[in-house]
Amino acid sequence: MAPARKQTKSKYTIDRGIPGAFEGETVTRRRFMTGTVHGAGMLMTAGIVIPSVGFALGPVFKNVTLGWQSVGYSDSFPDNNYVPVVITIAPGIGEAGKSTVYVRRRDPAVDVEPETEYNQWVAISSRCTHLGCSVLWVPAAEHFICPCHGSVFDVEGVRTAGPAPRPLDRFYTRLYGGTVQIGPRYSVNTELRAFSPRDPGEPLDGLGQYAYPSRPSVRKLPGNV
C-alpha cells in the first residue's frame, strides 16, 4: 500500500481560513508586525553595540609611532639625580598628550643591566604602573612616590612598596647631535628585563608576562618580548 501523501499547507492566508485575510496575502499581519518590531529592535541594538565595541577596541589596533624627541644637551643630566622633561606621547591632542619623563645619566654603580647604545641615559616614565597616576621623584628620599595609592619605587624605578605590579616603564635614549633624545617606551620586570610596552596594572614577573601580552599594534623592539 502506497504511503499517504502529505497534505501541503496553502501559502495564502485566505485558504488557511485566517479571519480578515485578503486575496493573495501570504503573510499574516501578526507575523508582519512581529517581524517589523524584531527588525527595528535589532537595528537599534546594533546602533548602540557597534559604536561601543569600536570605541573599546579601536585603540588596541591604533598604531602610533613617535619619533625620537630631543630633551636637552647631554651635560644637562647628572648621574646622581633625575631631571624632569616633558615629551609628547600622544600627538594631536595638545597638553593632554604630553607626559613627564625623569632622565639621568647612566651610573654603572647603580645601573647593572647590560649596557647598550640606547641606555646611556636612564629615562623613567612618570606613569604609575598600578593605575596610571603621575609619580613624583623625591630627591631627598631617592624614591619615586605615587600620591594615589602609595606605591613607592627606588632609584631604578623598581617597586619597593604599594600595589603597583611592576617597575616603572622606561624609554630608550640616545645621543644625537650633542642632545639626548627619548625614543620608544618599554616595560621592564623586576630584574629590569625589557618587554614591549604594557598597560598599567599588568605584571611582568612569572606568568604575568604570558597572561598580559602586549597590544597587537605595539611595535616590538629588538630584544623585547
Residue 68: CB minimum distance to ligand FES, A: 28
Question: Least distance from C-beta 129 to ligand FES, angstroms?
Answer: 8
Joined together, the cell numbers standing for residue 186 give 618599554
3-state secondary structure of 65: coil
**Measured distance CA(177)–CA(182) in Å, rounded:** 13
Q: What is the largest CA-CA distance in the chain?
A: 106
Question: Is 124 in contact with 157 (CB distance < 8 Å)?
Answer: yes
Residue 207, CB half-sphere, CA atoms under 13 Å: how many? 1
For ligand FES, the closer of residues 47 and 147 by Cβ is 147
Asked if 12 and 26 count as a contact pair (C-beta separation under 8 A), the reply is yes
CB 152 → ligand FES: shortest distance, Å?
Answer: 9
- Quickly tell me which residue has 604609575 as its cell: 128
Min dist. Cβ of residue 145 to ligand FES (A)? 9
- Paired sense of beta strands 159-161 and 170-176, if any: unpaired
Q: Which residues contact ligand FES by CB under 6 A? A: 128, 130-131, 133, 146, 148-151, 162-164
Closer to ligand FES by CB, 146 or 188: give it.
146
131 versus 192: smaller Cβ distance to ligand FES: 131
Kindly state the smallest distance separating residue 185's Cβ from ligand FES, in Å: 17
Please name the residue ranges forming H helices in 62-198: none
Round to whole Å and give the CA distance between 167 and 204.
Answer: 9
Least Cβ distance, residue 221 to ligand FES (angstroms): 26
Q: Which is nearer to ligand FES, 104 or 159 (CB)?
A: 159
Q: Which is nearer to ligand FES, 72 or 200 (CB)?
A: 200
HSE-up (13 A, CA, CB side) for residue 104: 17
In the sheet with 152-153, reading across from the earlier edge strand, the strands are 136-138, 143-145, 152-153, 159-161
- Judged by beta carbon, residue 14 or residue 131, the one nearer ligand FES is 131
